[in-house]
């Protein structure tokens, strides 16, 4: 079937399932109602000047039927779509993180192994990936029709998206949020490689250099920043408690804050804690951390998070 994009991710079939269910239900009711409308208007048409419209007061069984059946159908639709949506929003534990930056007007991809690519995203077949995305300037949107995934990139916070590519090939990545003059040219290629081909790409000698510190993988840059920017004065990496919480096992940690709210140490919480340390103080600690706004760049923060991920 060529009128919808080919199915190239684990999520695509599920999304299509919801689409088909809605489409089939809509077509069935459209045909049913239209046929009855035409049939009744012919059968009960006014035949002479003396025809009188009968006085009908209502029918309880009929009203119950046309209330209960659509309600059941809507509940089925909701439950099916909700299950698929929950699946789409819940990355598996073993998903590989890739940092995505959208800016006017290009896509930048940072891999855990230190590689960086522009406007080309390299993925390994059947390996679940999680896109950790941010925008540098305005809203952008990551959209790959063949994968049936779409998510906005927002300045000032991380958004995420996950999928498993299930087909080797090259697919189009579109920016699906109007972001200025170059919006229609903000395109990238997604290259899904077989494990052998991915291995060759991954170990290729041609290392693309990033703007931050050339040659360092994000986690190494994060470790360097951890020491150079003074994080190590208050945050240990071995589990011991100094002035602030330890970075060991930090990613994914949940707990209570001094104001009674709860936190989950995901990318957004870490970023907020670096830029606005007073926003959510972990219970048992003093609000003594200074803001690193203007000291650490967004790339630096991403690198620190990559470093923290190695400490889990």
**Interacting residues with ligand CUA (CB under 6 A):** 102, 105, 140, 175, 177-179, 183, 186
Q: What is the sign of the dihedral through the CA atoms of 135, 308, 294 and 280?
A: positive
Q: Check: CB of residue 142 under 8 Å from CB of residue 102.
A: yes
Distance in Å, CB of 158 to ligand CUA, minimum: 17
Torsion of CA 6, 117, 188, 177, to 10 degrees: 110
CB of 261 to ligand CUA, least distance (A): 34
**Which residue, 121 or 179, has its beta carbon nearer to ligand CUA?**
179
Based on CB atoms, which residue is closest to ligand CUA, 91 or 102? 102
**CA–CA separation, 165 and 124 (whole Å):** 7
CA 112 to chain centre: 18
CB 265 → ligand CUA: shortest distance, Å? Answer: 29
Three-class SS of 213-271: CCCCCHHHHHHHHHHHCCHHHCCCCCCCCCCCCCCCCCCCCEEEECCCCEEECCHHHHH
Q: State which residue, 129 or 175, has the beta carbon closest to ligand CUA.
A: 175
Provide the minimum distance between the beta carbon of 174 and ligand CUA in the complex, in angstroms, as a whole number: 8
What is the closest distance, in whole angstroms, from the C-beta atom of residue 157 to ligand CUA in the complex? Answer: 17
CA angle 204, 206, 210 (to 5 degrees): 120
Pairing outcome for strands 96-103 and 129-135: parallel
């Amino acid at each position: 079937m060529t009128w919808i994009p080919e199915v190239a991710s684990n999520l695509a079939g599920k999304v299509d399932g919801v689409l088909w269910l809605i489409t089939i239900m809509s077509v069935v009711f459209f045909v049913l109602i239209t046929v009855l409308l035409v049939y009744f208007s012919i059968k009960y048409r006014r035949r002479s000047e003396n025809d009188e419209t009968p006085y009908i007061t209502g029918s309880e069984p009929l009203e119950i039927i046309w209330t209960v059946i659509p309600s059941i159908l809507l509940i089925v639709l909701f439950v099916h779509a909700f299950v698929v949506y929950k699946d789409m929003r819940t990355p598996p534990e073993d998903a590989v993180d890739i940092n995505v930056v959208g800016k006017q007007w290009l896509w930048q991809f940072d891999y855990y192994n230190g590689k960086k690519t522009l406007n080309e995203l390299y993925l390994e077949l059947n390996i679940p990936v999680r896109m950790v995305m941010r925008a540098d300037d305005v809203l952008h949107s990551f959209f790959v029709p063949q994968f049936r995934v779409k998510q906005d990139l927002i300045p000032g916070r991380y958004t995420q998206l996950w999928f498993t590519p299930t087909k080797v090939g090259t697919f189009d990545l579109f920016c699906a949020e109007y972001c200025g003059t170059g919006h229609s040219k903000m395109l990238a290629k997604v290259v899904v490689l077989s494990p052998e081909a991915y291995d060759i790409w991954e170990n290729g000698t041609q290392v693309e250099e990033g703007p931050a510190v050339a040659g360092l993988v994000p986690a190494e840059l994060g470790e360097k920043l951890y020491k150079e920017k003074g994080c190590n004065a208050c945050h240990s990496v071995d589990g011991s408690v100094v002035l602030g919480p330890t970075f060991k096992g930090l990613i994914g940690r949940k707990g209570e804050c001094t104001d009674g709210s709860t936190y989950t140490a995901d990318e957004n919480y870490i970023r907020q804690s670096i830029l606005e340390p007073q926003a959510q103080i972990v219970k048992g600690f003093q609000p003594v951390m200074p803001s690193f706004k203007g000291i650490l760049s967004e790339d630096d923060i991403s690198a620190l998070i990559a470093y923290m991920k190695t400490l889990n």
